[in-house]
Chains A and B, each alone.
Chain A
Amino acid sequence: MRNAFADEVTQMAQADPRVVLLSGEIGNRLFDKLRAQSPNQFLNCGVAEQNMMGVAAGMGLSGLRPIVYTITPFTTVRCLEQIKVDVAYHESPVIIVGTGSGLSYASLGPTHHSLEDFAIFRAIPNLQVLAPWDAPSLRACLRMALASGRPTYIRIGKKGEADLCKDQTVPAIGGGLTLHKGRQLCILAVGTVAHEANAAAGLISARGINAEVVITHTVKPSPTALYDDLIEKFEYFVTIEEHARIGGFGEDFQSYLAMQRLTRRVTCLGTRDAFMPVVGSQAFARTYFGIDAAAIVQAAQSILKD
């Protein structure tokens, strides 16, 4: 996703002179093409994220379309007040991109994990929150964010994510993509952990369960039209996100059901209320927190048995 990000931003900058990439001292060589092609549209802001976010907001209020890029914790909670006040309150059209989100940097420890960003940003007005799952969906999210002219946070992974879209079109903001059709229950995934849901589909099918797998990139605005469609079709749900269960996507889905006074059986998979004190690969970390394909299979079996 990182390489797709650099390529897409380079194209966007070429097509639109308002696009400026602000990087927080990251991406060694990643943006060489952009810097060579449009030196005025790239700024390394150093290791100073509060300033970087304020600079981006000021640029957005002055006719530019800044894209802020660094590792997720540093482009989110490190400069949270600048996001709330300078970007969101002013409705400055800044695109905030966090790379290496969730547990992508599991081996770097909790300083580099981001499992609270959905929860925090859901509560900030004016902010769109998107979590694509592969290169094509990331490219689409960037373009939709730019076209919307709205402050937008895009949470991306690291590298090497396989394409899940295949020949399907990436849905608009608020939409979902069906990876596998099914009848008995719906697995609803957001962000890069959609790959675990995709992997779970085959395992579930082998156990004689007919599950639909739907993925979305939209955390905010709450994708209620998608929820409505799925609620009409399914009684059982497993939601999955690489984020804390507290305040996350699953909680949004459950609160929507509650507010609609609807009753469905829902299991929300997300990280428990704990830091991960040990290191490991992203796959290990997903297993550690019970948000891998095996955990989805188990949740699907359990919820149908209840």
Chain B
Amino acid sequence: MSAAKPLSIQALETLAREIRFRTIRNSHLTGTPHLGSCLSCTDLLVWLYWNVLRLDPKNPQWPERDRFILSKGHAAPVLFQVLAERGFYPRADLENYGQDGSIFGEHPPTPDHLAGIEAATGSLGHGLPMGLGMALAARIQGQAYQVYAVLSDGECNEGSVWEAALMASAQKVQNLTLFVDYNKWQATGRSNEVLGLAPLAEKWKAFGWATAEIDGHSFEAMADALGGLSRDPRPKAIVFNTVKGKGIPLMEDDNNWHYRIPTADEVVQCANVLQIPHEQIALDGRTPIVHG
């Protein structure tokens, strides 16, 4: 019913490579954008889903489960791959991704429509307040679950994020942890230039949160940071210094991949970089879905 046996770093790395590839392949086949944003938080999601979250994929509404909210809902394409691999639904379910009538698109649907989802995000700045409500509900009802949320740095433009930061601090909400995927880019520019985000970790600290700042692609640093803050009575914020497009040299730190869709040739290049066997590329000569 949990992440009882944490995976080794090597196992996490293997999973992250596979999830990265499936997300890229899916982007090509379905015309789904935000690859750069997906790849910067892939390591974080893999670590959370295999080594942190207490979940039961066969009983997704298990009342004692930890709650996870992907507040940067535009990274849903990687979350959908993670949930399938974690056993919430078969990977075959993803075959209709992006087709008319599919539940799998650019953003998470509501919990009623897909196992493993706690909140339908996509409009930025909603996930943290909802997560705060879930964390307060645990306290009010005497439940022991933890609430985790992943925010993007661009999302920290939203005032509602800081409203939640203030309330979580005032309420001394101990069971709420957020991770900022600080890849230094938002849709159209450098996140520190668009709205003066830096120094980001200091901001969370000033808002009364127990704060850490780490290399957001180091599984070891993730475990150390979370472990180091776990006994702190305050809400916790861990700033993940990440690279947009991480893992793929042709995409890394290139903001074109906020929207760009990889070609078939690029998918093959990615497979090579990620050490994915060629039989798994399986583009099958399918015509990619193209959105207007």
Give the size of the chain B interface in residues (CB under 8 angstroms): 32
- With contacts A59-B136, A63-B141, A91-B112 taken as known, whether A85 is within 8 angstroms of B123 at the C-beta atoms is yes
Among A50, A56, A90, point to the contact of B111 (Cβ < 8 A). Answer: A90
1/0 contact string of A75-106 vs chain B (CB within 8 Å): 00000011001100111000000000000000
Interface string of A188-230 (1 = CB under 8 A from B): 0000000000000000000000000000000000000000000
Task: Tell me if A182 is interfacial: C-beta within 8 Å of chain B.
Answer: no
Interface residue? B120 (CB, 8 A): yes
A58-B138 in contact given A51-B163, A89-B110 (Cβ < 8 Å)? no
- Mostly, the B contact residues are helix
Are B129 and A85 touching (Cβ within 8 A)? Answer: no
Let me know if B133 and A62 touch, CB within 8 A. Answer: yes
Chain A's closest residue to B159 (CB) is A50
B119 close to A (CB within 8 Å): yes
Q: B60: shortest Cβ distance to chain A, in Å?
A: 13
Assembled-state Cα–Cα distance A41/B128 (Å)? 21
Q: Are B137 and A62 in contact (CB under 8 A)?
A: yes
B136 and A43 form a contact (CB under 8 A):
yes
Asked if B132 and A55 make an inter-chain contact with CB atoms under 8 angstroms apart, the answer reads yes
Indicate the size class of the contact surface on chain A: 20 to 34
Q: Is A149 an interface residue (CB 8 A)?
A: no
B140 in complex: contacting residue of A41, A46, A52, A86, CB < 8 Å: A41
CB neighbours of B160 from chain A (8 A): 50-51, 54, 82
| A48 on the B face (CB < 8 A) | yes
Quick one: closest A residue to B141, CB to CB? A63
Looking at B40-48, B77-85, B165-173, the stretch in contact with chain A turns out to be B165-173
Q: How far is the CA of A66 from the CA of B137 in the complex (A)?
A: 10
Most A-side CB within 10 Å, residue of B63, B111, B134 = B134
Complex CA–CA separation, A24 to B118 (angstroms): 25
Q: How far is the CA of A45 from the CA of B135 in the complex (A)?
A: 14
Q: How far is the CB of A70 from chain B (nearest CB, A)?
A: 14
> Which of A20, A62, A82, A85: most chain B CB closer than 10 A?
A62
Cβ–Cβ contact B141 & A53, under 8 A: no
Known A-B contacts A43-B171, A46-B166, A85-B126; A54 and B133 likewise in contact (beta carbons under 8 Å): yes
A64 to B136, CA, bound (A): 10
Q: How far is the CA of A89 from the CA of B109 in the complex (A)?
A: 9
A86-B130 contact, Cβ under 8 Å, with A48-B163, A51-B160, A59-B136: yes
| A82, B166: Cα distance in complex, Å | 18
Do B140 and A20 touch (CB < 8 A)? yes
Given A48-B166, A50-B160, A61-B111, does the pair A81, B123 have CB atoms closer than 8 Å? yes
B interface residues, Cβ below 8 angstroms from A: 63, 67, 110-112, 118-120, 123, 125-126, 128-138, 140-141, 159-160, 163-164, 166-167, 170-171
Given contacts A57-B133, A61-B118, 4 further A-B contacts (CB under 8 A): A45-B167, A51-B129, A55-B132, A63-B141
